[in-house]
Amino acid sequence: MTVDTATTADATELGDAGVILPVGIIGFGWMGRAHAQAYARVRHHYPQLTPVPKLMVIADEVAERAADAAAQFDVPSTVADWHDVVDDPAIGAVSVTAPNFLHREIGCAVAGAGKHLWIEKPVGLSADDARAVATAARAAGVRTAVGFNYRNVPAVAAAREMIAAGGIGEVTHARFRLFSDYAAHPDGALSWRFQRARGGNGVLGDLASHGADLVWFLLGDIESVVADTAIFVPERPRPTGSTSGHQLASGGDRGPVENEDYVSAQMRLASGARCVLEASRVSVGAQNSYGFEIHGTEGVVRWDYRRMGELEVGNGHDYQDLAVATRFVGPGAGDYAAFQPGAANPMSYDDLKVIEAARFCASVRDETCHGATIDDAVRSAQVLDAMTTSVREGTWVSPDTHG
């Protein structure tokens, strides 16, 4: 599907600025709001972008939440049934920000209807789910985007260029961490996130999926993994109403947590390098502590999400007692120039979603891939499935052959 107004129904004229791409959002929790904000802001940062996304409909089973969102974002329509978005011939693209267990059904339906698809990770509960959506998108010829937002950080883009150019020599070993405390409270509501059939493999899909994508994005193919997982908060109170985000629900009946709170994996990379990936949703005292440290034969590069615009870099031939300095990224690193005019001006999480929205629209326009796509989701899911198999079998597993 293209955005040629002469031949398609998914775009309308916008004068000299180009065309409008009518979009819908399915599921309006925190992530649905992040997508809505990205659509609203994208033209501010990418003034030459075409097509321009215009949010036309929000689907959410909680009517009041959808109505409040529609009023805030000036959206003309809300529906309770996501099928109404898929069946609407006026909608050209859809953001799928519903719970994980719905990703496969909704993603395949969106693609099957010929609509471009921006879907959140991990895209379903397993690699089979992600592959099904990828197959549907390929058959329909639609463009896809997947929410691996941390690869959009300009500092991460700068680190990737540095590593590829040999700036730290040959990579020898690395450590990636994704620690959060969003589920550390024992009274955190027993939402779908903690149920195997609805939330999948817990922290693997939620956080380790980002880590698997970053490992590949920065260091290349993962040859094999061995992993260990744990559940540290075995029971939580059942919520008495709808939930959004990570709410507490003290006083209710308690039920079992069915999926993983923690994962640690060792990785052998195709390059010969070694890597450790660790993720936890119950790390008391760690709020969004995400980052990496990559060592090479001639240096090191480190990044911390909470200091998004900085890299710690040491390189040269002083193999012992090597000095490490902080570098502030600026225009010229990734998409930084679309947001700030000079180095060391902070960017935010929401800015990363704006970058995703821009790349999604550019993919629709150019009929080619910009940014993370459904194929990246499949690759990440294969790594997560391999971790799960490794825990069960107690051995190294190759993501390439698993499943």
**Same domain for 139 and 169?**
no
Eight-state DSSP code of residue 382: H
Question: Which of these three, 149, 171, 189, is where a domain ends?
Answer: 149
Residue 94 maps to a domain: yes
How many Å apart are CA 79 and CA 77, to the nearest integer? 7
Q: Is the Cβ–Cβ distance between 79 and 57 less than 8 Å?
A: yes
Percent of the chain with pLDDT over 70: 93
Residue 365 belongs to a domain: no
Compute the half-sphere exposure of residue 44: CA atoms within 13 Å on the CB side of its CA: 9
pLDDT tens digits for range 116-168: 999 999 999 999 999 999 999 999 999 999 999 999 999 999 999 999 999 99
3-state SS, residue 195: coil
3-state secondary structure (DSSP) of residue 127: helix
**Domain identity same for 188 and 203:** yes
Say whether both 252 and 125 belong to one domain.
no
d(CA 57, CA 75): 6
- Residues 167, 109, single domain; the answer is no
Q: Are residues 114 and 213 in the same domain?
A: no
Q: Are 96 and 232 members of one domain? A: no
Mean pLDDT throughout 370-386?
98
pLDDT of residue 101: 96
At how many degrees (to 10) do helices 209-219 and 374-393 cross?
A: 110
Q: Give yes or no: residues 169 and 113 share one domain.
A: no
Asked if 130 and 190 sit in the same domain, the reply is no
> Can you give the pLDDT at residue 199?
93
Rounded Cα distance between 50 and 39, Å, is 12
Residue 352 covered by a domain: no
Two structure tokens written together for 134: 């990828």
- In the predicted model, what is the mean pLDDT of the chain? 93
Of 125, 149, 173, which residue is a domain's last? 149
- Tell me, what amino acid is at 344? A
- Supply 147's token pair: 């929410």
CATH code for the domain of 302: 3.30.360.10
Distance separating alpha carbons of residues 142 and 116, to the nearest angstrom: 5
What average pLDDT does range 348-364 have in this prediction?
98
106 and 163 assigned to the same domain:
no
Find, among 17, 37, 15, the residue nearest to 357 by Cα.
Answer: 37
The residues, any chain, with a CB within 8 Å of residue 97's CB and separated by 6 or more, are: 25, 26, 27, 28, 29, 31, 32, 34, 35, 120
401 inside domain? no
pLDDT of the residue at 141: 97
Structural domain includes residue 357:
no
pLDDT for residue 198 is more than 70:
yes
313 assigned to some structural domain:
yes
Asked if residue 201 and residue 94 are part of one domain, the reply reads no
Count up the domains in the chain and report the number: 2
Indicate whether 106 pLDDT > 60. yes
Any idea what the CATH number is for the domain that residue 87 is in? 3.40.50.720
Domain range for residue 128?
12-149
- Is there a domain that residue 403 lies in? no
Mean pLDDT of 224-238: 97
Q: pLDDT, tens digit, for every residue of 9-22?
A: 344 554 444 599 99
Among 114, 149, 184, the domain-final residue is 149
Residues 178 and 324 both lie in one domain: yes
Determine, yes or no, domain membership for 279.
Answer: yes
- One domain, residues 252 and 334: yes
Query: Minimal CA–CA distance to 207: which of 155, 247, 151, 148?
Result: 148
pLDDT at 177 over 80: yes
In angstroms and rounded to an integer, the radius of gyration of the C-alpha atoms of the chain is 21
Distances (CA, A) of 144 to 28, 43, 247: 20, 20, 31
For the cut 60, the answer to whether the pLDDT of residue 7 exceeds it is no
Q: Considering the chain, what percentage of its residues have pLDDT values greater than 90?
A: 90
96 within 8 A of 103, measured Cβ to Cβ: yes
